[in-house]
Amino acid sequence: MIERTLIILKPDAVLRGRMGDVISRFEQKGYRFVAMKLIQFDRALAERHYAEHVGKSFFDSLVDYICMSPVLVGVVEGEDAITVTRKLAGATHPLKSEPGTIRGDLGFIKGDNMYNTIHASDSPESAKREMGLFFSDEELLDYDDAKTL
């Protein structure tokens, strides 16, 4: 089934110049981007995005992290995009993520801080809610693939 899902290339991807590395993994897998933009989170948007984590011990540090620099938000489209994107991303903790995954290859730990490079929606419901936080329906594009060129 063709799905759309949200990804966020987090501050460590942006600040270390790794956005292209991550984007190319999706393109090499045959997925396409139907929306993309560079944004700066403010605290209110970060708290809405991470609402399911309110009250957890890591909530404030997570919000602070996502607000520290611009991030790239995008919508990926393709067959089973939600499941495949989560597999491409790897386990949340970079040291527990398999080599070959985005987090396994690009994520790292520095002191008490975890930098895991990418956020990926975890369900169809989350993908719909999260895409709506960042993109209007008009910003989600439909277009023919490269086979028509």
What Cα–Cα distance (Å) separates residue 26 from each residue in 62, 89, 93, 95?
25, 10, 20, 22
Q: Compute the Cα dihedral for 74, 78, 81, 85 and give only its sign.
A: negative
Catalytic residue, from 49, 53, 93, 119: name it.
119
Q: Does residue 128 contact residue 141 with C-beta atoms inside 8 Å?
A: no
Q: Does residue 35 contact residue 74 with C-beta atoms inside 8 Å?
A: yes
* Residue 119 annotated among the catalytic residues of the structure: yes
Sheet holding 2-9, edge to edge: 32-39, 71-79, 2-9, 118-120
As annotated, the active-site residues are 119
